[in-house]
Structure formats: C-alpha cells, structure tokens
Amino acid sequence: MNDSVSTQATDGQVAQQRRSRKWQLVQLLLQGDRPYALYFAFAILLVVFSLASPWFLSIDNFLNIGRQTALVSIIAIGMTFVIIARQIDLSVGSTLALSGMSAALAMAHIGDNWIIGAIAGIGTGALVGAINGLIITRLSIPSFLVTLGSLSAARGLALLVTTTKPVIITNDSFVAIFGEGDILGVPVPIIWTVLAVIAGILLLHYSVFGRQIYAAGGNPTAAL
C-alpha cells in the first residue's frame, strides 16, 4: 500500500515538473527580449497562406514578394540604426519619394546616365538625413519634431520640382540595375537588399561606429 502511494506521488511530481517545464518554455518564448514569437507568427502565416493558395509556396511567388518588399526592407535597415540610437525618423517615405524624383530629373536634364541618377538619388537622401541630423544634434530639437517637419518639406519639395506631374525614368540601365533586372534568375532588388543587410550587420556589430550607436542608445550621457 505504501509502495503504491509512493509511486503515485512520484508520478504526480514528475507530471507537475513536466507541466512546469512546459510553462517555463512558453514564458521563455514569449519574453519581449527574444523575438521567438515573431517567428512562430511567421510560421503560422506561412501555413495559412499555403492552405489558402496552392501557388504560395513557389519560388516565383517568393521572388515576387522579395522584389516588392525590397525598398521597405532597405529603409528598415537604416531605420534600425536610428531606433538603436533611441531616435525616430518620420521622413523616410517622403525622402524616398524626393530621392526618386531627383534621380529621374537628373537623368532627364543633366545626362541620361544611370550613374548620374544614382548619385542624384543617393545624394538627395544623404542631404536630407544630414540636415535632420544637424538640426537634432546642434539645436537639441527632438527627432520626432524635426523629421515630422522634414516629412512635409520633402513631400512638398518633390511636388514642387515636378509640378505635381509624374517623371518617367527611360534609362534602361537604371531600370535594370535598380528595378526590373535580375542576376541568375534572382531579381536585382533582392540582391541589393541582401547587400544592405550584410553592410548593416558589419557596421552595427564589427565597427566602432556601430558600437557608438549602441552606446548612445543605451545611455547618451555616459556615451558622451
């Protein structure tokens, strides 16, 4: 009788320990500093969309998704630096529009060359970013307010320089290099995204600049 009671008690303890371990695992997965929940949500979405459409789990579909999300992904990499530094930038969408317009206008009026367009587009984005950064750091104005203002300014300037009319990029090289081209069957925008991700990782984790960003975001006073 005592052996039976002892066995039942042992089995109950084992079952309780298993339930405790499962609950600890669930708590671990749901902790805010570990993005496992995001991966679970992503896996669930894959299953749902796969059941909803027989064409979802196809290489062509994933390449199409990668092409369509390339711009957002590249912008998100830059935004990661800003957020780690405990800042915010609301002007990225308008800056993107202004940079694209600058590239198109430069090729239309300066020279029909993709290099000129790339320099004009990247230079415009860098200029807007530099102006935002100088105002924030030199005048000690919160980044939320500065970029909110530059959002409207960049959008208005884009409409002003184009007189609200669309500007068509006719340079085939520019379109192939930054838009509709592909290398070995992989769309060029995906390749640019991968290169941007690699550059972001190297800058954040293997450079003094990246460590300074982490330090500034962790404790600006101590970093200073």
Note whether 132 and 91 are within 8 A (CB): yes
Position 91 scores a pLDDT of 92
Position 2 scores a pLDDT of 47
Please give the Cα distance from 194 to 44 (Å, whole number): 24
How many CA atoms does the CB half-sphere of 158 hold within 13 Å? 25
Position 5 scores a pLDDT of 47
Please give the Cα distance from 203 to 4 (Å, whole number): 64
Q: What percent of the chain shows pLDDT beyond 90?
A: 42
Q: Which amino acid is at 172?
A: D
189-205 b/e (C-beta count within 10 Å ≥ 16 → b): bbbbbeebeeebeeebe
Please give the Cα distance from 127 to 157 (Å, whole number): 14
pLDDT digits (tens, 9 = 90+) for 62-111: 888 888 899 999 999 999 999 999 999 999 999 998 999 999 999 988 88
* Mean pLDDT in residue range 115-143: 92
Those residues whose C-beta lies under 8 Å from the C-beta of residue 108, and which sit 6 or more positions away, are 167
- The pTM (predicted TM-score) of the whole model is 0.75
